Amino acid sequence: MDHQTEFRTWNVFRRRRDDGLCCAVSADVPVPPFLLSGDWNFGFAIADGDAPVTGFSLAAAEVGAGFNGFYLFLTFAPAGEADRASRGGSAPGGERH
Q: pLDDT at position 18, please?
A: 83
Q: How far apart are CA 11 and CA 54, in angstroms?
A: 15
Q: Sheet containing 10-15: which strands, arranged edge to edge? A: 40-46, 10-15, 18-26, 71-74
Whole-number average pLDDT of the chain: 79
Total residue length of the chain: 97
pLDDT digits (tens, 9 = 90+) for 21-49: 999 999 999 999 999 999 999 999 998 77
Q: How far apart are CA 30 and CA 8, in angstroms?
A: 14
